[in-house]
Amino acid sequence: MSNIGNLCIVCPDPTRSARIAAFFEQARYRVEIRKDADAALAAMRANAPDVALLLDAPEPAARLLHALRAAPETVDVSLAFADGGRLDEAAACAADDVLPADIDADAMVFRLQPLFRLATMRSEMRLRAEGVEMQHPDPAPAPGPARALYLGLDPAMTLPADFLGRDAVWESAASTAEAEAIITGPGTYDLVVIDAPRSRLDDVQAFCRDMRDNPRLFSLPFLVRMPHVGGAAARDLYRVGVSRVIGAADGAREAQAEARSLIALQHNRTAVREALRRTLTEATGHPRQAVYTEDFLKAYLDRRIAAAEAHHRALSVVHLHLPEAVSLHDEAGETACRTLSEQIARWIARLIRVEDLAARLSDSDFIVVLPDTLPSEAQVVMNRIAGVLTFTDFAVPEVYRPVKVWPLVGVAGLEPGDRPETILGRAAANLG
């Protein structure tokens, strides 16, 4: 069975580790369980997971993290542990996440998703770099102040002035509509902090769900501080894409530690995103349109398929066909058709996640590769993108009317023995 991520649980309690593993396996993650750090390290060096989760383990997190970072096979493994009382230890060793000790397993699955997606981005960086002979892609985060948005929906709650340090750059909003206008504007942000009363739970959920549906904001961290939130309410917030949920009982130090952890994760994502963009050159694609060539696509797919098969990972390929581009060629000529195709390419590149790869086969046909993504999820993503394109009016010189498109979408998931031409052929055959 294909999985969307690999997890190693380090826990001396077999009952607890088995219970938590069941939730991750149900969500299509592959799980290994080890009782102590030494056994876990041996297993991870043989088959590096995306995330290591330390549960009730007496070993210092720093020892495990340093051992992971020292070996090239495990240097990219993210480390999380479930013990909110060890925040100082987490900060000292730069662990990727510290989960509350009482977090339920269902919420844990949602909370760790950003770490799994970061692993996907790192894998993409290395696979694409191989195709352009970038021997040592450098994803080191650039230093700089945090840029954050504060959405204050609860007059009784205030944010300390030094919450993110004195150099942080803040924007403020008093309503979800104002916040949406700010973060969907031209700027970029490292974090959104939301203070809201329990009575505004539905509003916060709707806002976060809408923001997560915007591919440009897919990875933007959201931290929600809300009195009397926990259990089902916290789980529901995690389900709509909230990164951290902080209750009123949690102190300011805990909230600050969570916020700074999220910003560090976002800075890591930004660094990997820039490394990915450097693989798009005149030799590999069409940089102004942010899509790759067919030749690069097929060479990359060879490596991506091999990686997916080696680690039992999901992989989806989507074919988008634009019948209107063909008819526009007949109506207005090759230049008009090419202009429309270039606009579509830029739209597709803006609407997909940074770890997804888009390529142009012709003026009327595009491919999107979605790593670590099940076909059912890829279908939802691409139907949403097709919907955006359908409701967009395109302006083409010498065509004196708005140009509309109705893309056809075909999705194919990786099957045993696939080669680039077979999975691409199935995606084309599924157009509809």
Least confident of 86-100, 167-181, 199-213, 340-354: 86-100
The β-bridge relationship of strands 147-152 and 78-82 is: unpaired
The SS3 of residue 412 is: strand
State the Rg of the chain over Cα: 23
| pLDDT bucket at 229, cuts 50 / 70 / 90 | confident
Residue 256, H or E segment: helix 252-277
- Which of 40-44, 301-305, 413-417 shows the lowest mean pLDDT across its residues? 40-44
Question: Taking a C-beta distance cutoff of 8 angstroms, is the pair 225, 255 a contact?
Answer: yes
Q: What is the dihedral of CA 228, 231, 232, 233, to 10 degrees?
A: 30
pLDDT on residue 94 = 66
- 133 pLDDT above the threshold of 80: no
Q: Is the pLDDT of residue 51 over 90?
A: yes
The pLDDT value given to residue 358: 97
User: For residues 211 and 220, is the Cβ–Cβ distance under 8 A?
Assistant: yes
Spatial contact of 372 and 7, defined as CB atoms under 8 Å apart:
no
pLDDT given at position 61? 66
CB contact at 8 A, 256 and 103: no
Q: How many CB atoms lie within 10 A of CB 32?
A: 18
Instruction: Indicate the CATH number of 147-277 among 3.40.50.10490, 3.40.50.300, 3.40.50.1370, 3.40.50.2300.
Output: 3.40.50.2300
User: Would the pLDDT of 375 be above 90?
Assistant: yes
Give the pLDDT score at 233.
86
Q: Does 85 have pLDDT greater than 70? A: no
> Is pLDDT larger for residue 385 or for residue 62?
385
pLDDT of amino acid 325: 85
pLDDT grade, residue 336 (50/70/90)?
A: confident
Of the given ranges (18-22, 86-90, 257-261), which has the lowest mean pLDDT? 86-90
Q: How far apart, in whole angstroms, are the C-alpha atoms of residue 349 and residue 342?
A: 11
For residue 272, give every residue at least 6 positions away whose Cβ sits within 8 Å of its Cβ, in sequence order, or none. 118, 121, 122, 125, 139
- Residue 127 gets the label, from left (phi > 0), alpha (psi -120 to 50) or beta, of alpha
Per-residue confidence at 330, pLDDT binned at 50, 70, 90?
confident
Buried b (16+ CB within 10 A) or exposed e, 226-251: bbebbeebbbbbbebbbbbbbbeebe
pTM: 0.87
Mean pLDDT in the chain?
87
Confidence of residue 65 (pLDDT cuts 50, 70, 90): confident
Question: What pLDDT sits at residue 214?
Answer: 82
pLDDT (0 to 100) of residue 348: 94
Q: Report the distance separating Cα 420 and Cα 135, nearest Å.
A: 24
Residue 59: pLDDT above 70?
A: no
Helix (H) or strand (E) holding 34: strand 29-34
Report in angstroms the alpha-carbon separations of 11 from 108, 209, 217, 416: 15, 33, 34, 34
- The predicted structure's pLDDT at residue 197: 92
> Locate tokens 């969570």: which residue?
258
CB atoms within 10 A of CB 283: 11
pLDDT in tens, 237-285: 998 989 988 886 666 777 888 888 899 888 888 888 888 988 999 999 9
* Helices within 311-430 (DSSP H only): 323-332, 334-351, 375-390, 420-429
pLDDT, average across residues 333-342 = 86
pLDDT at res. 57: 58
Are 328 and 397 spatial neighbours (Cβ–Cβ below 8 Å)? no
408: closest CA among 304, 291, 319, 276? Answer: 319
- Dihedral sign for Cα 149, 151, 155, 158, please: negative
* Closest by Cα among 99, 190, 208, 96 to 149: 190
**Do residues 224 and 242 touch, judged by C-beta distance below 8 A?**
yes
Same CATH fold assignment for domains 5-131 and 147-277: yes
* The dihedral formed by the CA atoms of 115, 118, 119 and 124, expressed in degrees to the nearest 10: 160
| CATH class of the domain whose range is 285-429 | alpha beta
pLDDT band of 6, cuts 50, 70, 90: very high
Spatial distance between the Cα atoms of 47 and 30, rounded to a whole number of angstroms: 12
Coil, strand or helix at 407: coil
Cα–Cα distance between 222 and 242 in angstroms, integer? 5
Over residues 20-47, mean pLDDT: 91
Query: Could you tell me which residues come within 8 angstroms of residue 18 by beta carbon, excluding any fewer than 6 positions away?
Result: 33
How large is the angle between the packed helices 294-310 and 105-131, nearest 10 degrees? Answer: 130
Confidence of residue 381 (pLDDT cuts 50, 70, 90): confident
pLDDT band at 134 (very low <50, low <70, confident <90, very high): low
Q: Tell me which of 172 and 230 has the higher pLDDT.
A: 172
Taking residues 348-364, what's their average pLDDT? 93
What pLDDT was estimated at residue 164? Answer: 87
Q: pLDDT at position 31, please? A: 95
What the block records as the tokens of 122 is 């790192």
Break the chain into its structural domains and give their ranges: 5-131, 147-277, 285-429
User: What average pLDDT score do residues 29-55 get?
Assistant: 90
Q: Is the dihedral of CA 162, 164, 167, 170 positive or negative?
A: negative
End-to-end CA distance of the chain: 27
CATH homologous superfamily of 5-131: Response regulator (3.40.50.2300)
Q: Is the pLDDT of residue 58 over 80?
A: no
407-432 pLDDT per residue, tens? 999 999 999 999 999 999 999 999 98
In this prediction, residue 301 carries a pLDDT of: 96
Q: How far is residue 394 CA from its own chain's centroid?
A: 29
- Tell me the pLDDT band of 142, cut-offs 50, 70 and 90: low
